[in-house]
Structure 1
Amino acid sequence: MMEPPPIKRAHVSLLYQSSIKELMHDFKFNASPRAGMLLVELMLVNKPDLLGSALLPVPMHHQRARERGFNQAYWLAEQLARRTGLELLNAECHKLVASQRTLNRQERAANLRGAFSIKGPLPAHITLIDDVVTTGATTNALARVAQKAGAMHVDIWAVARTPLGNS
């Protein structure tokens, strides 16, 4: 029997295509704060009604963060926490996982097994922050760890999702 997904609600109002994809690429791979602030503004225009009491960005392995220069999910969460007044939580990624971009749903889940840890206890209701949701494997893996650390209700708030059929 399959266990239910750990995510209660996902709030993602943009599609990862055309100008949003270009903006995201500029933010992630060129570390453009201008692009990042525009993405934050777009997220806030259509903010979820229920955010819980804390934001938890998807962590990045320290080696990958060094290569890129920053963790885009943490950067977004930091800006959103300032604007919403919510607590900013931290998780760690211990496993240098292969890039998720080329993997299918099952490979993504296997790739992330044992990757994350969180020091608890966490508030009962938290919201994960990510840039792009494709299959949900990353946020599901993090949500399971968050539940083990005490979160009872875990939601996602992301900038964009890949169009159906592109995962």
Structure 2
Amino acid sequence: MLYQGAIKELLHDFKFQASPRAGILLYELMRMTSPALTGAALLAVPMYPSHARERGFNQSYWLAKQLGETLGTPLVKATRIKDSFSQRTLNRRERAANLAGAFRLEAEPPEHIVIIDDVVTTGATGHALASAALDAGAKRVDIWAVARTPLGKG
């Protein structure tokens, strides 16, 4: 799905207003469009602790938890060890630099994990988290997101 129109509004309501209704709708959309191969574990994009406290919840973790329960797939955890700027105003190169070395997995992951995120713009977050997972021992990392920004918008 593209990050525009009603999907963009739902994601904004879920992410910034903690709307339970929006979260449930987004979860259902992900569940209905699940990939054929979902990996041995799910990995939510972690937030830096102070940002998580400010927002009150991590939307990626919430989605991963719901999907994991439905699919019978465990979650593996990562920590965001680098406090970085918001990605929203950064270009592709700045996003990659902003997230370099930002994540660490808390334990050795299974061979195949799937990162759960809300929106993919340039792929910088997924790439940085996948790099951390591969460094920790994963052999394959996929990403599953609610939406992606239209090409040329990131």
CA distance in 1, matches of 2:82, 2:112: 26
Question: Runs of 5+ in structure 1 lacking a partner?
Answer: 1-13
Conservation of the 8 A alpha-carbon contact between 1:120 and 1:150: no
Q: Out of 84, 88, 97, which is 1:110 matched to?
A: 97
The code of the aligned residue for 1:152 comes to K
Q: Out of 4, 16, 40, which is 2:27 matched to?
A: 40
TM-score by length of structure 1 reads 0.91
Report the equivalent of 1:99.
Answer: 86
- Using the TM superposition, name which of 89-98 and 112-121 deviates more: 112-121
Following TM superposition, by how much is the alpha carbon of 1:37 offset from its aligned partner in structure 2, in angstroms?
A: 0.8
1:145 aligns to 2:132 (yes or no): yes
CA distance in 2, matches of 1:57, 1:152: 17
Question: Runs of 5+ in structure 2 lacking a partner?
Answer: none
Greater than 3 Å deviation, 4+ residue runs: none
What does the per-residue CA deviation read over 1:33-85, in whole Å, with 9 as the maximum and x for residues that have no partner? 11101001001111100011100000000111111111110010001001100
Following TM superposition, by how much is the alpha carbon of 1:119 offset from its aligned partner in structure 2, in angstroms?
A: 2.5
TM-score by length of structure 2 reads 0.98
Following TM superposition, by how much is the alpha carbon of 1:121 offset from its aligned partner in structure 2, in angstroms?
A: 1.5
Alignment of 1:60-79 (within 5 A): 60-79=47-66
Q: Out of 127, 141, 150, which is 1:163 matched to?
A: 150
Q: What secondary structure sits across from 1:140 in the alignment?
A: helix
Report the equivalent of 1:53.
Answer: 40
Conservation of the 8 A alpha-carbon contact between 2:117 and 2:146: yes
CA distance in 1, matches of 2:67, 2:3: 20
Q: What secondary structure sits across from 2:84 in the alignment?
A: coil
> Which is helix-richer, 1 or 2?
2
What does the per-residue CA deviation read over 1:10-55, in whole Å, with 9 as the maximum and x for residues that have no partner? xxxx100010000011100110111101001001111100011100
Percent identity (aligned): 64
Aligned length: 154
Report the equivalent of 2:5.
Answer: 18
The code of the aligned residue for 2:125 comes to T
